[in-house]
Structure 1
Amino acid sequence: MLLHILTLTLLAGLSMPLGAWLACAERIRPHWLEKEFRHSVIALGGGALLSAVALVLVPDGLEHLDTTAALFWFVLGGMIFLCIDVLLNHFKTSASQLVAMLADFVPESIALGATFALGGSNGLLLALLIGLQNLPEGFNAFRELRHHTGYSARRIILIFALMALMGPASAWLGYGWLADYPAVVSSIMLFAAGGILYSVFQDIAPQVKLERHWGPPMGAVLGFALGIAGHMLTA
């Protein structure tokens, strides 16, 4: 079982360098189509993130907490992501998308490992959603780093590939250490859900809109639809 979990989280993490590779190889003509494609990819990630919140993180997170605790951890997640956003803006860092990607990936991987340990049925779905959201997040983070740093495409992809190893490490923590503390796992899930919801409306949704283009919002619909499909297939 542990090997199965580590493999799933590694594959989900490898969506980050895959997304970076797609951004590197992206050369679509005419220019308007290339631009619309970029926005559609970002929207796809937003839809996947929302489906992870709605279908897994919040429903599973509510199981072992009372109302006060659930609201506390959910709001705290949003507040912490807000503080991270403010700090990144203050220091004018070129890695805001990268930090946001890892801030999603690590707690979700911990929750995935613990979910399997607790015998939950949503572990596979969560792995699928993590991989689905990491693809456009890797795409977006690659473009940000390429634009603001002198890093080569190969170097960025290698960095993302190494960061994918954080998934199995986090899942092992959830599986081996937190399975006996379901309330802690629920807190992590709701914390991640609050942070993700903040990120969607602060960073992702504003980047989706294009004047006189209506394709990108459908990316969000398709991203959520893929989450629904995964939910029904793994139920």
Structure 2
Amino acid sequence: MSEWLLIVILTLVAGLTMPLGAFIANIESIRPHWLEKEFRHSVIAFGGGALLSAIALVLVPEGSARLSNLETVVYFALGGIAFMALDRLLAYLNSPAGQLAAMLSDFIPEALALGAAFAQGGTAGMLLAGLIALQNLPEGFNSFRELKERAHYKPITIILAFLFMAFLGPVSGLIGYYWLADLSTAVGAIMIFAAGGILYLTFQDIAPQAKLENHWAPPLGAVAGFLLGLVGQLIIGH
């Protein structure tokens, strides 16, 4: 199989877990009611843990390896500031797209890195695809819930939108493969910028929603989400 076709397939499959997560989130009435509520909060926390793992184990290590220390600091700070501006804009427009922005700011840079990894050889691209897919599932779940409950979009509209967004994966992967493989600094800047933005959104939007009074499973979900990324990183490292 051609390498470019493999990239398309891997990134598309990884992206399709976003609408899959949305489809699962559309399944209502988990009984008893307390279990349904705790389950939702646990998945939100799991998604937050997965995003933190993407920052700590993929985006920052891979991105900073391509940049100087000063460049890393500058791009990370710019990412946080830029996403704060985006968050304020979304608040001004009364748009509940915080988790959606976090999901895409994670998915697109990692797909770019996947394409560049294939261009440079090695097995990291295959394992990164699996990690992206596992991260996108809870993120798709959480984004669906946020959009449905706060914006009142029809479920089929959200799922179809996520299905369309899945195709951003192959586009980003091919860009990384054909154009960014030799532009190591550009890839690093994108990854570090996204890391700063994701960190802002995690603590501004996702972490507050995960808290549930007198329940302890949701924080454990965050640990499980980070552990997911850690396992992927340990596999890649070996």
Q: TM-score, normalised by structure 2?
A: 0.92
- Find the residue that maps to 2:121 and give its secondary structure: coil
Q: Which of these residues, 90, 93, 112, is aligned with residue 91 of structure 1?
A: 93
Counterpart of 1:216 in structure 2: which amino acid?
P
User: 2:196 matched to which residue of 1?
Assistant: 194
Alignment of 1:170 with 2:165, yes or no, is no
Change (3 A) 1:100 1:175: same
Residue deviations 1:177-210 (CA, integer Å, cap 9, x gap): 1111111111111111111111211111111111
Displacement of 1:126 after TM fit?
2.9
Deviates most, 166-175 or 139-148 = 139-148
Structure 1's unaligned 5+ residue stretches are none
What is the TM-score of this pair, normalised by structure 1?
0.93
Letter in 2 for 1:26: E
Counting only pairs closer than 5 Å after superposition, residues 175-186 of structure 1 correspond to structure 2 as 175-186=177-188
Partner of 1:45: 47
Is the CA contact (8 Å cut-off) linking 1:5 and 1:113 kept in structure 2? yes
**1:128 counterpart residue number:** 130
Of 203, 207, 213, 1:211 maps to 213
Task: Give 4+ residue runs of structure 1 displaced > 4 Å after superposition.
Answer: none
The answer for the alignment partner of 1:147 in structure 2 is 149
Greater CA deviation, 132-141 or 33-42?
132-141
Unaligned runs of 5+ in 2: none
Q: How does 1:215-230 map to 2 (within 5 A)?
A: 215-230=217-232
Instruction: Give distance in 1, aligned partners of 2:116 and 2:200.
Output: 24
SS at match of 1:14: helix
Deviations 1:83-115 (A, max 9, x none): 110100011124333233223322222222122
Residue 190 of structure 1: SS of its match in structure 2? helix
Counterparts in 2 of 1:2 and 1:82: CA distance versus 1, 3 Å: same
The sequence identity of aligned pairs, in percent, is: 60
Q: Residues 99-118 of structure 1: matches in 2 within 5 Å? A: 99-118=101-120
Q: How many residues align?
A: 235
**3-state DSSP of counterpart to 1:17:** helix
Query: Is the deviation greater in 51-60 or in 106-115?
Result: 106-115
- Stretch moving more, 31-40 or 58-67: 58-67
